[in-house]
Structure 1
Amino acid sequence: MTTKNTIESGKTIAVYGATGVTGGHLVTELRRRDITPILVGRNAERLRAAAEAAGIPDAEIRLADLDDPHALIAAFDGADAVISSLPAYVTLGDAVLAAAIAAGAHYTDMAGEQVFIQRAFDKYAAAAEKAGVTVVPGITNSNLPGDLLGHLTSRLVAGPAEISMSLHNTSIGNGSKGSARTLLASLDWFASGGWHYQDGELRTGAAARHGEMTFPGDAEPTPVSKFPQPPVLTIPRHSDVSYVEGVLETAFHSQLGGMTAEIVESLPEEPTPGLTYDLVVDAYGVHGDRVRGVVSGTDAYRDTALMAVQAAVALTAGTAEPGVLAPAEAFEPAEFLDALADFDITWHIDKQ
């Protein structure tokens, strides 16, 4: 396991989807680390503009459509790692993942969909192992901290632990159009609450076991409903747990019912800057003991990009096992979280 902050000399990271909001944060962070990436996409003009906006005018541009696997594989040739930045991975994500593996590159993305991440484990693990590359899908400001905190908190209570996690926005604003497109592409799944983990298997249906959560700084609990958080899939891979659920404020679910393609396309392309948040993981032990882990950040979209770059850089070291892994299987959890402190991303664990 490693979370090296600097990339080894001669290593290369390719980015697919650098022209979006989060993609722009990715390229800016790579430049800050003195990494000149390969920018891959469909539109040379937009890719060049993204490179210049990030202060990397000499970045290599390679063109490849998602529906052209040969062009994608060629575009990733020579890359040590690939970061995929897309909306709606459930419909668009497979092409980049498959091509990265075929090109022999480690891979990470910023998917927020349970269905896509489970597909990565089920469909691509054998190919990644054979290629000798590591795939860590779903690096977002909620998924990665949720998985790492699940690992850490579950070890501080008498197991098997019960985990409930939620992303709590602590500022007011709108997300990006890309995020809205992701929700729309899997609207029924998000509205239904998706999978929870119970007694050794993934299950659908059922209401949240913990129907309210008192978020950091609040005096009163907030009603929450089941929500398909991806760490539901990954925490059981590395931790002794009997139950894992994702929840979100119930008020958010009421907004999903009115979402349409027309509404999505009317939304602003860019999110409100500086969307602050707390990612909360509560671990309950079998004897009534409980601990809470919290990761707090200052900009949800920027922080997602920072975490994805940190993951990609760590993967280039080649110390993680090949295959499709959860974050806590690929990286040392506390070390990875500590490495984010320079970006005003903090974490702590408290006994309740």
Structure 2
Amino acid sequence: MTTQPSSPTIAVYGATGHTGRYLLAELRRRALTPILVGRNADRLHAAAAAADLPDAEIRIADLTDHTALVAAFTGADAVVSSLSAYVRNGEPVLAAAIAAGAHYTDISGEQLFLKKVFDDYAAAAETAGVTAIPGVTDNNVPGDLLAHLTARRVSGPAELVMSHLSKSGGNGSKGSAKTVFASLDWFRSGGWHFADGELRTGPAGHPQMTFPGDTAPTAVGKFPQPPVLTVPRHTEVASVEGVLAKDILDTLSSFTTELIEQIPDAPSSDLRYEVIVDAHGDGRVVRGVVEGVDSYRDSALLAVEVATRLAAGTTKPGALAVAEAFDPTEFLDSLARFGITWRIEES
């Protein structure tokens, strides 16, 4: 697609969940009438009514029915996929969006799914003339953009270390827990880091990190951050590693089916966070920090922002990282209207 519609049409798959409600609220704020796609007409109508979107079109399609999904996305300028466990559920929406000629974005946070998008669907998206930007979350978008900016402030290829820090200590949703559980062994292993020009498993090199406002370092462990895959696409780096506070990693590693069923569907009400990217090079560290308001709200806002930008038809076709598609400084600056701020600190 190469032209900007006067009012872009955004299709949403997964509009009935917690993040879906934020997606619909943002679409309504922008005066956009979405297409809601899913399996259950009653739930979709209820979601539209709750969001005060009486004119939203409802289209029914199951994840197992490719033909119905393609039909549901036909006529949309962009598709937003809002699911849990993309490693299990994500491909059908992606494949159908491309087949329907619609741009695509999602709220995935799984390294394994992002790799599949770039390895298996980039050529199909390019052939179809559409752009797919996976992994648009409160963590991944800031991580990718900050990495692009901080790495260029040190001499030579930078060593990048990135983390996501909850400032409130709030709990995530049941859907998020299911996402972790679907790839539990991968999360426990720490997933990939990037070094010596390739993705690698096994131990990496940063056992501690001093978070903003702290004077003492916190014990951290390797965590499968999706920007590990995206950053090397646009930035020359020596290494990229994701880490998370050790106590949070221990909690994630303890997930069981029984424990997940006890987690509330909705997350805590206070979900303030920081995304931190440290670029190590020439004997110093340049730190980038994004401060956000609510992890789920912000992921939804970012997905709508990306979808509406894609609908403009100005990005090159294929599968892209955020920093490949948009100017990092301009994009980060544009988030101030949502209360999402950023800064770079040099030492």
TM-score above 0.5, yes or no: yes
Q: 2:286 aligns with which of 284, 288, 291?
A: 291
Task: Give the secondary structure class of the aligned counterpart of 1:224.
Answer: strand
CA contact 2:131–2:320 (8 Å) conserved in 1 = yes
CA contact 1:169–1:276 (8 Å) conserved in 2 = yes
Q: 2:13 aligns with which of 5, 16, 19?
A: 16
The Cα offsets for residues 220-247 of structure 1, whole Å up to 9 and x where unpaired, read as: 1111100000000000000010100000
> How many equivalent pairs are there?
344
Q: Which amino acid aligns with 1:107?
A: Y
The Cα shift of 1:10 comes to 3.5
Q: CA RMSD in A?
A: 0.9
Looking at structure 2, the residues matched to 36 and 152 of structure 1 have their Cα atoms a distance apart, in angstroms, of 35
The Cα shift of 1:58 comes to 1.4
The Cα offsets for residues 286-322 of structure 1, whole Å up to 9 and x where unpaired, read as: x212200000011111001001110001101111110
Looking at structure 2, the residues matched to 345 and 303 of structure 1 have their Cα atoms a distance apart, in angstroms, of 8
Q: 1:291 to 1:101 in 2, by over 3 A?
A: same
The Cα shift of 1:8 comes to 4.3
Task: Give the secondary structure class of the aligned counterpart of 1:340.
Answer: helix
The Cα shift of 1:68 comes to 0.2
Task: Give the secondary structure class of the aligned counterpart of 1:339.
Answer: helix
The Cα shift of 1:211 comes to 1.2
Task: Give the secondary structure class of the aligned counterpart of 2:239.
Answer: strand
Q: Which amino acid aligns with 2:91?
A: D
CA contact 1:163–1:281 (8 Å) conserved in 2 = yes
Looking at structure 1, the residues matched to 168 and 66 of structure 2 have their Cα atoms a distance apart, in angstroms, of 41
Q: 1:233-312 alignment to 2 at 5 Å? A: 233-285=229-281, 287-312=282-307
Looking at structure 2, the residues matched to 335 and 138 of structure 1 have their Cα atoms a distance apart, in angstroms, of 19
Q: Which runs of 5+ in 2 are unaligned?
A: none
- 1:218 and 2:219 equivalent? no
Q: Which amino acid aligns with 2:241?
A: E
- 1:329 and 2:324 equivalent? yes
CA contact 1:274–1:300 (8 Å) conserved in 2 = no
Equivalent residue for 1:84? 81
CA contact 1:109–1:137 (8 Å) conserved in 2 = yes
Task: Give the secondary structure class of the aligned counterpart of 1:115.
Answer: helix
Equivalent residue for 1:3? none
Q: 1:334 to 1:297 in 2, by over 3 A?
A: same
Q: Which amino acid aligns with 2:209?
A: M
Q: 2:29 aligns with which of 15, 28, 32?
A: 32
Looking at structure 2, the residues matched to 29 and 236 of structure 1 have their Cα atoms a distance apart, in angstroms, of 31
Looking at structure 1, the residues matched to 200 and 104 of structure 2 have their Cα atoms a distance apart, in angstroms, of 28
The Cα offsets for residues 62-120 of structure 1, whole Å up to 9 and x where unpaired, read as: 00000000000000000000000000000000000000000000000000000000000
Q: Which runs of 5+ in 1 are unaligned?
A: 1-6
Identical-residue share of aligned pairs (%): 64
CA contact 1:162–1:284 (8 Å) conserved in 2 = yes
CA contact 1:15–1:39 (8 Å) conserved in 2 = yes
- 1:63 and 2:60 equivalent? yes
CA contact 1:65–1:71 (8 Å) conserved in 2 = yes
TM-score of the aligned structures, taking structure 2 as reference length: 0.98
Q: 1:180-219 alignment to 2 at 5 Å? A: 180-206=177-203, 208-219=204-215
TM-score of the aligned structures, taking structure 1 as reference length: 0.96
Equivalent residue for 2:339? 344
List 4+ stretches of structure 1 deviating above 3 A. none
Looking at structure 1, the residues matched to 134 and 169 of structure 2 have their Cα atoms a distance apart, in angstroms, of 28
Looking at structure 1, the residues matched to 73 and 249 of structure 2 have their Cα atoms a distance apart, in angstroms, of 39
The Cα shift of 1:274 comes to 2.7
Query: Which stretch of structure 1 is more off in the superposition, 256-265 or 145-154?
Result: 256-265
The Cα shift of 1:55 comes to 1.0
Looking at structure 1, the residues matched to 126 and 269 of structure 2 have their Cα atoms a distance apart, in angstroms, of 39
CA contact 2:7–2:32 (8 Å) conserved in 1 = no
Looking at structure 2, the residues matched to 10 and 331 of structure 1 have their Cα atoms a distance apart, in angstroms, of 21
Q: Which amino acid aligns with 1:260?
A: T
Q: Which amino acid aligns with 2:162?
A: M
Looking at structure 2, the residues matched to 233 and 95 of structure 1 have their Cα atoms a distance apart, in angstroms, of 22
Equivalent residue for 1:105? 102
